[in-house]
Structure 1
């Protein structure tokens, strides 16, 4: 069953079609389902909410039959019943057949990991064809959950993202037209997670493996530009520090800086949402 929530967003009932390991810390999960005929997105850094089942459940428990009241109904479910909700970025949308890709960072899965894996990482590491999920996503291509919006007069795109932002950055780079310029830094947990990225733009891409991003960017010289646009996404503390750098130290107009905290050290997504 599919229930509209609030246009342009709705619930989509999906299942895992296949999984593809991208590196030691990354897995791509491809989802399919009849509902995807109603899914539309212009891509870039399109944000989605995934609802995942607990171990032993065949599908996530979300009371979508409540319509606009689903959120309160979901919150009132017992902790061990209520579906796990996590935010992700759309990596790709395809037609014929209708499929979407979502890339997951596998926090805490590797042996000897410093922090234990959360429920979403555990689910993604074990996902198999046929596993069912619910997705809250866009039914209109140009929607408010797309944050990457450089002004028309932009003459340089500057991007930083940690491993959780790699899917968004990959999609953003694919959207940049030929003749545009971009300077990109990407943080990777492991050298094996470095990906070959595709773009028609004149883009210089630097991967930082276990390096301090702020130090690396402070020491870098940006290409000359009169109207740069900056997009920063990843761990909240690092995002805020980089925003201060670009606005305070480099003098970039704060109105031309988009910054998004995807996660925060020491906090679950539930705690982060509550804090916000």
Structure 2
């Protein structure tokens, strides 16, 4: 059975291979499946959509038989039947000897996982916390390596890369850093809930990475504003440079930092890429309904 929908994006039927806890707030899930041989991506901040089953379902319910009209059919399904859809970024992929993708990694943030998990955590966090080998999902991803769901695109004349991200954009940031060639100058500000979420990031770039941990800052919530705000404001950027900024995470924090980079530091707005991955106090369903 084929799960293709339309190029350059299509559905891939996948199964969990392994899971690995990366820290208190993050778990890495590795997926595989024969259809992945047609998956193509240049990486960086590649965006994906995952469709997850509800508890008690063997696989996610998406009406693929409707072809390109699957979205309408999916929206019309009952809430407790329709597959849970969440947006993620590709953390990594591995290819076989012939250059075909054989595995992909996706890092999940475990929002609200703890003693009161059933009250606070969303369906994707609950699924990821309990995922095990053989669990089935659908991935809507690219069949063309250079596609519009990759947003990190610094101009060729960039001489300094500036990155800010919270935990939801940490996988994308790690992938971006891994893609930067040797000699690239980069300044990176990363915010995570717990000290155990700090990671060793591999990059050949000349990167200055600063971590901000919320539990060390009076328990600030992710929606209270970026902890890195003062540090970003105080950073002295080269007056004659050609920087490129990429900002991703909670939408309110992203907006504030965009104003700092473009307004206070004077970076051309066309050289600032920003993405609100989530909004404090709202579910993805609410954001989708808002448009």
TM-score by length of 2: 0.92
Residue matched to 1:174: 178
User: Helix, strand or coil: the match of 2:113?
Assistant: coil
- 1:156 aligned residue (157, 160, 181): 160
User: Aligned partners of 1:68, 1:258: CA distance in 2, in Å?
Assistant: 30
For the pair 1:40 / 2:50, whether they are aligned, the reply is no
Residue matched to 1:255: 270
Where do 5+ consecutive residues of structure 2 fail to align?
Answer: 218-226
| Aligned alpha-carbon RMSD (Å) | 1.3
User: Helix, strand or coil: the match of 1:18?
Assistant: strand
Measure how far apart 1:140 and its partner are.
Answer: 0.4
- 1:208 aligned residue (201, 212, 216): 212
Residue matched to 1:28: 28
Residue matched to 1:240: 255
> Deviation string for 1:188-245 (max 9, x for gaps)?
1100000000111100000111152212322333356511000000000000110011
> Deviation string for 1:170-195 (max 9, x for gaps)?
00001000111100001011000000
User: Aligned partners of 1:184, 1:164: CA distance in 2, in Å?
Assistant: 15
For the pair 1:73 / 2:87, whether they are aligned, the reply is no
> Deviation string for 1:39-62 (max 9, x for gaps)?
010000000000000000000000
The count of residues paired between Structure 1 and Structure 2 equals: 275
User: Aligned partners of 1:222, 1:126: CA distance in 2, in Å?
Assistant: 44
2:4–2:12 Cα contact (<8 Å) kept: no
Residue matched to 1:133: 137
Measure how far apart 1:111 and its partner are.
Answer: 3.3
Change (3 A) 1:78 1:112: closer
Where do 5+ consecutive residues of structure 1 fail to align?
Answer: none
Out of 241-250 and 214-223, give the one that drifted further: 214-223
For the pair 1:104 / 2:119, whether they are aligned, the reply is no
1:178–1:202 Cα contact (<8 Å) kept: yes
> Deviation string for 1:228-272 (max 9, x for gaps)?
000000000000110011111111000000000000011111111
Change (3 A) 1:112 1:82: closer
